[in-house]
Structure 1
Amino acid sequence: MTDPAPTRPARQWSLDVTRVISVVGVVAIHVFAEMVAASGIKGTAGWWAAVAADIGFVWVVPVFVMISGALILQPRHYQDGPWPFYRRRLPRLATALVFWSLFYFIVIRTMLSQVPVTRVDLTDLVLGGKPYTHLYFLWLIIGLYAVAPVLASFLRGGGDRRALAFAGTVLAVTVVTGMSSSVLGGMGDARPLTLLALTQWLPYTGYFLAGWALRNVRLSGARLALAALATVAAVGLSVWQYGARPGLPLWDAVVPLTYYGPVVAIASIGVFVCLNSALADWRPGPRTQSVLRELSDCAFGVFLVHFAIMVLLRSVEPFSRAGGSFVLSLLEWLVVVVLSFGVVFVMRRVPGLRRVV
């Protein structure tokens, strides 16, 4: 007698909301980065607003990874072993990696931005794992998907306690390693953590595991309020830390403002748990479900396409001047978000193109 097929779990709408918010935050980081980098306006009210809009979303990439962990580490994906999982997941990611790497390198970087191409650039395109500013994420996800069956096998049968212990240990080791590298660098003994194509995923394994370990954690009442307060404090501290540079060298060394720094880890876990908890009992109506499902399904494509739209938008007025104006940057953010979702919505309905978004 064969075991019954595992039932598909109910859709967790809080994860869809979190995914949509996160991709909107990714766009904010890249849009406001130009203004944040403008040294001539540093310290002004507009500059601080841009820092808040940029660094205020410092948690988005770890949360994206946590969402993936919550969904991908489900045992049902590996009932028939790892190969069916690989055949379902990796071809699409590989296709997207090749397509967008070539698109950004040839069209955006070389033709539009007119950056000269060297042999080092071509080699880095293949080996560096960062063919364009944001495309390291594809190598990151491919790496995590590659090891997902192994991680899921270890987690199977261990319950929430094993999942929490495993995620906590891996994430703690990652954070301490990042802090160690930063402290040594601050002391003049530079030990940068170098990530290449095949290792982009390594520092995010803890977040991947944490997404699974914390998927069912639900806080309410005073505990949710305290968690939300701690999350806001961590985000606020990150904004303040960035804005105060370079006046806090010791703090920057001990508490690096990176995706695997301790404060960012607290903020990321806090956002994930608080949003899941706050929306735990939310059941959207049929129309809202349809819209939210579409937006969530478009998020991956928006992550990939938004940078190209942003670069194109900055070639025309008034957005060519957005780097000096918070109001224009805010408008640019809204336009890039809307256009990105619109473009991906169309691409998902074109045979062939839907495979890359």
Structure 2
Amino acid sequence: MRINYINGLRLIATLGVVFLHASAGILDLREIPSPTDKFMHTCFKYSMQFAVPIFVMISGALFLNPAKEIGYPLMLRKYVKRIALALLIFGLPMCLIETYFSNSGGVLTSIIHFITGHSWTHMWYLYMLIGLYLITPIIKPFVTQATDKDWIAALILMFVISSLFPTLNNMGAGLTSWMIISTPYIFIYMLGYWLCWKAPQGIVGNRSALTVVTLLCLAIIVAKCYYGFNYYGYADPVTICLAATLFLLFRSFNMNWKFANWIAPYCFGIYLVHNVFINFAYKFLKIETESVVPILNFIGFFLLFTLLSLASTYILMKIPFMRKYIL
């Protein structure tokens, strides 16, 4: 069964990741003298963090679908192999480049960083994705047999112990002994399945309420940035809520977006290579802060990074091995 809106979600998540890293790179590598500009880029960074949960939700919606039979032989042979090859071909060179430019060691150090998951920041997602793939056959029986009440209870419990409690703890609540699970991505993975296949039509069809919640989440993120509250990253409850409402909004429209369908095969490649151009611009060329920080300039750089990543992926997909086994 084709899910029309998935490619639309994949597109906005891909653009969101590029936007996020373009802004985060400025904050991490530059001293921004203007408080207004610094606040603006902080808002950009955190408001775009919905992209990663949406990627995880898409995977959950597709791989946990009971109609999709996936055991360990197929999972290892096809999906885990693809991500492992992507890590080897893209992640290891990134480790080598980072080690060289930071003068922090040689080839052996780079290999150790690669094995231990210390590649460029965005590559962590691939290591995590392998874990989700490997756990999929284990949680699939629950997906196929659980009642609606079981699903609600499981999602609430996982939200509390993997998102809410860690967020409160990150804000200084001291809940370190309260059954905290530090990795929330199994919850987000399963939530993606529920949003796609189980969410009641009364929620999905209420576009006004979903829009209000989406805007409220964005307002909360801006307020948190303004007042300097600690942010629990991709597992922050507000971020997960924003990703979920966007997912439901796309589901409610179920739009067969031709542009998204066209660009969907390139999204994974864009994710893999976009940080090459961001790091080249910020670290190697060392573009001055005043050249990239203003909003119009920054949007120009974001579009440039996106287009260069798309063009690179298009070229890479001309290579049969890359097209067949990785991209």
TM-score, normalized by the shorter chain, greater than 0.5? yes
Aligned positions of 1:59-70 closer than 5 A: 59-70=50-61
Q: 2:245 aligns with which of 248, 267, 270?
A: 270
Kept in 1: contact 2:184–2:235 (CA 8 A): yes
Which of 307, 320, 324 is equivalent to 1:351? 320
- Structure 1 residues 151 and 187 mapped into 2: Cα distance closer, same or farther (>3 Å)? closer
In the alignment, what sits opposite 1:15? 6
Q: Secondary structure at the match of 2:44?
A: helix
Cα distance in structure 2, aligned partners of 1:299 and 1:312: 20
Paired residue secondary structure (1:272): helix
Q: Are 1:54 and 2:35 matched, yes or no? A: no
- What does 1:149-164 align with in structure 2 at a 5 Å threshold? 149-164=137-152
Aligned to 1:94: 84
**1:17-32 matches, cutoff 5 A:** 17-32=8-23
Paired residues for 1:237-252 under 5 Å: 237-245=220-228, 248=229, 252=230
Does the C-alpha gap of structure 1 residues 176 and 220 become closer, same or farther in structure 2, counting only changes over 3 Å? Answer: closer
Per the alignment, residue 142 of structure 1 pairs with: 130
CA distance in 1, matches of 2:302, 2:164: 34
Give the deviation of 1:305 after TM superposition: 0.5
| Contact 2:11 2:267 (8 Å CA) reproduced | yes
Structure 1 match to 2:114: 125
8 Å CA contact retained: 1:58, 1:264? yes
Give 2:218's aligned residue: 235
Deviations along 1:196-239, whole A, 9 cap, x unmatched? xxxxxx32111000000110445679832112111221122112
Q: How far is 1:319 from its partner? A: 7.0
TM-score by length of 1: 0.79
User: Is residue 2:304 matched to residue 1:312?
Assistant: no
The answer to whether 1:258 aligns with 2:227 is no
Structure 1 stretch displaced more, 264-273 or 171-180: 171-180
Q: 1:160, CA displacement in angstroms?
A: 4.5
Provide the aligned C-alpha RMSD in A: 3.0
2:29 matched to 1:41? no
CA contact (8 A) 1:35 1:325 kept: no
**Correspondence for 1:77 among 59, 63, 68:** 68
Match of 2:266 in 1: 298
**Aligned-pair CA distance for 1:189:** 8.6
Structure 2 residue 154 is matched with structure 1 residue 166: yes
- Measured in 2, the distance between the counterparts of 1:54 and 1:174 equals 22
Residue of structure 2 in register with 1:6 after alignment: none
In terms of mean alpha carbon deviation, does 293-302 or 59-68 score higher?
293-302
8 Å Cα contact 1:72-1:148 kept in structure 2: yes
TM-score (norm 2): 0.86
Give the SS at the match of 1:149.
helix
Contact 2:95 2:111 in 1 (8 A): no
- Write the distance in 1 (CA, Å) between the matches of 2:189 and 2:168: 22
Q: Distance in 2 between matches of 1:172 and 1:151?
A: 19
Tell me, what secondary structure is at the counterpart of 2:49? coil
Give percent identity, aligned residues only.
Answer: 19
Task: Give me the whole-angstrom Cα distance separating, in 2, the residues matched to 1:188 and 1:160.
Answer: 30
Normalized per residue, which structure has more helix?
2
Quick one: distance in 1 between partners of 2:168 and 2:205? 35
CA shift digits 1:133-152 (9 cap, x unpaired)? 11110011100000011111
Are the aligned partners of 2:214 and 2:242 in contact in 1 as well (CA < 8 Å)?
yes
Q: Residue 187 of structure 2 is aligned with which of 206, 221, 224?
A: 206
SS of residue in 2 equivalent to 1:169: helix
Q: 1:93, 1:138 within 8 Å by CA — same for their partners in 2?
A: yes
What is the deviation of 1:114?
A: 3.9
* 2:99 and 2:110 in contact (8 A); partners too: no
